[in-house]
Amino acid sequence: MRIPDHIGIIPDGNRRWAQGQGMTKDKGYALGINPGLLLFKQCEKYGIRELTYYGFTVDNMKRPLAQKQAFVNACIESVDILSKENVEILVMGNTNSPSFPKDLLPYTKRRIFGKGGTKVNFLMNYGWEWDLNLLKTSDKTKKDIVHNIRSNDISRIDLIIRWGGRRRLSGFLPVQSVYSDFYVLNDYWPDYKPEHLDTALDWYNTQDVTLGG
């Protein structure tokens, strides 16, 4: 079976999940923390080398305060929980903005925890324009793009899995996603089950890899 090296995770549907349970929208994010850990352990078992979670974006910061506090707290707690594993963590986002959580500053250069192993990237206060903007300072006589964006320590993504039914990237790493296979689950992220990843991997196994060729 062909296993992707790098999976991108768009954990969407937290607010719709909360509403479905009769809760206010902001209550959905805390229930998305444990799925992140379970999914990581499943990927580790399968030998997947790199995992990128779409935490929150600059765009998301336009939301109501209660929601912002809830998703920022859930993101901080997710990084904290993953840092107890054998993992190499990188938090990627605009640290020059007041929206960037100070608690995450120690993770903005890749750090090894435990015995190291799986690379885990979290996009936090990430913006695709912010990411690409670094190109403006790079050598224009050279063709290379991937090493000259802010997220240059995040590799090309083989498979993106999105929960919550939307079929769009929503600004997720536009450069690393140019050739990615894109799998969408209708289930909301707090309803994560191991079968979700298994189904996505079974589908990925049936796809060819052309890298645009």
List residues near a copy of itself by CB under 8 A.
57, 59-60, 62-63, 128-130, 132-133, 135-140, 143-145, 148, 166-171, 174-175, 177-183, 207, 210-213
Q: How far is the CB of 194 from a copy of itself (least distance, A)?
A: 22
Residue-wise over 101-140: b if at least 16 C-beta within 10 A, else e?
Answer: beebeebeebeebeeeebbbbbbbbbbbebbbeeeeeeee
Q: Residue 118 is which amino acid?
A: T
CB of 86 to a copy of itself, least distance (A): 31
Q: How far is the CB of 83 from a copy of itself (least distance, A)?
A: 28
Q: How far is the CB of 169 from a copy of itself (least distance, A)?
A: 6
Residue number, 98 or 139, with CB nearest to a copy of itself = 139
Would you state the structure tokens that stand for residue 152, as one six-digit string? 């240059």
Nearest CB to a copy of itself, comparing residues 115 and 206: 206
Tell the smallest beta-carbon distance from residue 207 to a copy of itself (Å).
7
Which of residues 118 and 177 has its CB atom nearest to a copy of itself in the complex?
177
Tokens read off for 10: 């768009």
Write the CB contacts of 13 (distance below 8 Å, at least 6 apart in sequence): 28, 163, 164, 165, 187, 188, 189, 190, 191
Amino acid symbol at 199? T
- Provide the CA 200 distance to its chain's centre, in angstroms: 16
**With respect to a copy of itself, which residue has the nearer C-beta, 81 or 184?**
184
Beta strands 87-92 and 111-113, pairing class? antiparallel
Nearer to a copy of itself, 144 or 198 (CB): 144
